[in-house]
Chains A and B, each alone.
Chain A
Amino acid sequence: MKRRRRTPTPDLEQAAGAGLMHRRAFIAGAAIAGAVAAEPARAEGLAVEPWMTAPGSPFTGYGQPSRFEAGVARVFANPPNAPGSGAARTPLHRLQGMITPNGLHFERSHSGVPDIDPDKHRLLIHGLVTRPLVFSLETLSRYPMESRIAFIECGGNSAQLYQTEALDADAQRLHGLVSCAEWTGVRLSTLLDEAGVDPTALWVLAEGGDAAGMSRSVPIAKAMDDALIALYQNGERIRPSNGYPMRLLLPGYEGNMQVKWLRRLKLVETPVMTRDETAKYTLLRPDGSALQFVFGTEVKSVITQPSPELSLKEPGLHEISGLAWSGAGRIVKVEVSADGGRSWAEAHLQQPILSKALTRFRLGWRWDGGPAVLQSRATDEEGNVQPTREALLARRGARALYHFNGVASWGVAASGRVTHVYA
């Protein structure tokens, strides 16, 4: 009630320019009288449809989305001669909430998806340990497990925004290498404690059981902190494209380090300097030097609705919605601009707001039918604020390729068409 008195007419309150509303207006449960007019009855009329006049289809063993949703799918590209190498992107603009369905979780593979027999798969922990140990899926399944909701973002997500010209593409093609799931598995620290880590071990080489044997060096502190040997993804066994039967989960770290199809963990003194931590996933700067070991995803956000492919049909009330995340912890604030960054309004953050998970934000917007530029800017609990694209490029140049986290912009034309722009 107090709140209501502080903002007596929230539906009319302009929180920022170009029609952005207060974050308490136009959200579910706000019960604002008169904010949303009832849809007028449509001329086509109401009828008893055929699906009410005959029994529906029988049960199926594993459910699938409606056939009318066939267009909600990952898009992918690969180098010549290597169909399983490359990335498949999550259709962020077709999804809602914070959890990515398993069939739509993004996928980055370096030599295809291996067809691993779970009974034959083994995880070896060795190197600088007292007792080298071998685990099967069956033995790991008897350990105490825990679940955590975590985003995974490829280090190469949004790489096109380093380019000097704004690529004409949608949220999926630009930003679709991020997804979020509930992962369940065994704490890596439990297994490392059993193996007995030598004090000289400062890194853990993690290696996958795919044809590429994808491998990365992980700091021991992260391995002993919140790392998980994940066995389940959103309640079911991890999908083959995401590491079946087990993957390394390093909450908040770049996806490439969260090695899928995990077969081996070797404790070592210094990084192994694998191809993917030297030739790839390093940020080349204008002076010719490159940044290495950029572990965490920095604070970031992207508006998923409206966005390209989701053009606005008519002026009036719309909800701006999107996702925010940070490898440093919780999201504490997301601001939205409809005038290209001149003025900002704070968005409503939807619960749950979890550390190192995607956070859904929403804000009401009264579009006046004129051109607009939509942006979002996130802040995490460490006080990190998402930089402008210009500020990021000023630091790193246009060839860094990885870890782009600058503010992205959607241009809205008077026609309602939405496109990727630089503002």
Chain B
Amino acid sequence: MSMREAAALALLLALACAGARAEGPELGRPATPSEIARFDISVGPDGAGLPPGSGTAREGRVVYEARCVACHGEKGEGKPNDRLVGGVGALAGQKPATKTVGSYWPYATTVFDYVRRAMPFDAPKSLRDEDLYAVTAYLLHLNGVIGEDATVDAATLPKIVMPNRNGFAPFAPGD
């Protein structure tokens, strides 16, 4: 095969591959930035996705007592549903561990993300952004992570270091 023939064949193969690749039906409709912004409700550990607004634990106590206390108890002590406070630094051992926002959750951004998407259980996605920041701050304060008047917003929340931040290791076969 001459160089010219080889080059022609390579081009033909490349075209064939490109052709095969392009054979998808391509029926997806382009999504616009504004509709993506409405649809995207996740928050990354770097704070990506956090909305404008802010709140403090002092403000969050009011939100908590109105919307959360019936399931999670006074000051996040739990019952009838999950306990949210306590157990910090006491995960080791053989006895059942108290896994709470304070003792176990590695990222503060996850608290905002989860409360926004899933809470309160009977009316998820109903809290205003200000209330979400405030109740997140309250849960962090109850766990001794931040002060009662510390402002939680898109800039400060990702910077908060949770007590169990380094408590996780990626699984490997044999673990």
Contacts and interface: CB of A to CB of B under 8 A. Distances in A.
Nearest to A85: B121
A81 B121 contact: yes
A124 B28 CA distance: 9
Given A81-B81, A111-B124, A286-B92, A132 B175 contact: no
A385 interface: no
Interface string A255-291: 0000000011010101111110011001110111111
Nearest to B122: A81
Interface in B138-175: 167-171, 173-175
A333 interface: no
A111 B67 CA distance: 17
A395 interface: yes
Interface size class of B (residues with CB under 8 A): 35 or more
A144 B35 CA distance: 28
B110 to A, nearest CB: 6
**Chain B contact surface mostly:** loop
A111 B118 contact: yes
A274 B105 CA distance: 10
A2 to B, nearest CB: 39
B171 A275 contact: no
Interface stretch (B2-10, B37-45, B53-61, B128-136): B37-45
Contact of A294 (B40, B92, B117, B171): B171
A132 B117 contact: no
A139 B26 CA distance: 9
Residue from B41, B46, B117, B169 with most neighbouring chain A CB atoms (10 Å): B117
Given A275-B110, A278-B168, A291-B171, A264 B40 contact: yes
Given A213-B41, A272-B45, A398-B94, A282 B168 contact: yes
Nearest to A287: B92
Nearest to A284: B97
A193 interface: yes
Contact of A139 (B27, B39, B122): B27
A294 B46 CA distance: 23
Given A205-B42, A292-B168, A274 B113 contact: yes
Contact of A289 (B25, B43, B45, B168): B168
Contact of B91 (A140, A213, A284, A395): A284
A283 B104 CA distance: 12
Interface in A110-124: 110-111, 122, 124
Interface string A190-221: 11011100000000010100011101000000
Contacts of B42: 205, 207, 215, 266, 272, 274
A295 B173 CA distance: 11
A193 B18 CA distance: 12
A284 B173 CA distance: 16
B99 to A, nearest CB: 7
A55 interface: no
Given A133-B30, A190-B24, A211-B124, A293 B171 contact: yes
Given A275-B113, A291-B175, A399-B97, A134 B31 contact: yes
Given A125-B28, A190-B24, A289 B105 contact: no
A126 interface: yes
A273 B171 contact: no
B52 interface: no
10 contacts: A81-B70, A81-B71, A111-B118, A135-B28, A212-B118, A213-B41, A270-B44, A271-B45, A283-B171, A397-B94
The 9 residue pairs across chains A and B that have the minimum distance between CB atoms: A133-B28, A288-B92, A213-B117, A80-B80, A288-B91, A132-B31, A139-B27, A275-B114, A294-B171
Interface of B: 21, 24-31, 35-36, 39-46, 70-71, 80-81, 91-94, 96-97, 99, 101, 104-107, 109-110, 113-114, 117-118, 121-122, 124-125, 167-171, 173-175
